[in-house]
């Protein structure tokens, strides 16, 4: 019963992160934060799933490594965007 509650909670977290990601598409920082929230909910869902069936947690460690790499890449893009344009709005960028 507790596993079912956890799974429903993490699926709700995932969809709320998707809603924030799609509604805050003008700011890069808010998009990165909502993507981290989605990754966190997926990691917790994977952890509950793997512990429910007594699997190894090696795959969850690999998932965390790739998520950290993705986060660092997004943060570096955010820093370079703020240094060149002064803010993180997408509409202020000129595509010329």
What pTM value is reported for the model? 0.84
- What's the whole-number mean pLDDT along residues 56-74? 92
Q: Does 2-85 carry CATH code 3.40.50.720?
A: no
37 neighbors 20 (Cβ within 8 angstroms): yes
- What's the whole-number mean pLDDT along residues 62-82? 91
Distance between CA 76 and CA 63 in Å, rounded?
20
Task: Count each helix (H run) and each strand (E run) in the chain, helices first.
Answer: 3, 0
The mean predicted confidence, pLDDT, of the chain is 88
Residue 45's pLDDT is what?
A: 92
Nearest to 7 by CA among 46, 36, 33: 46
Check pLDDT > 60 for residue 70.
Answer: yes
Residue 93's pLDDT is what?
A: 65
């Amino acid at each position: 019963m507790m596993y079912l509650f956890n799974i429903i909670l993490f699926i709700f977290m995932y969809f709320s992160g998707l809603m924030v990601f799609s509604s805050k598409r003008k700011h890069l920082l808010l998009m990165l934060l909502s993507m981290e929230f989605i990754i966190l909910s997926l990691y917790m869902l994977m952890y509950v799933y793997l512990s429910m069936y007594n699997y190894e947690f090696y795959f969850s460690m690999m998932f965390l490594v790739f998520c950290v790499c993705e986060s660092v890449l997004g943060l570096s893009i955010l820093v370079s965007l703020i240094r060149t344009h002064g803010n993180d709005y997408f509409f202020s960028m000129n595509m010329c």
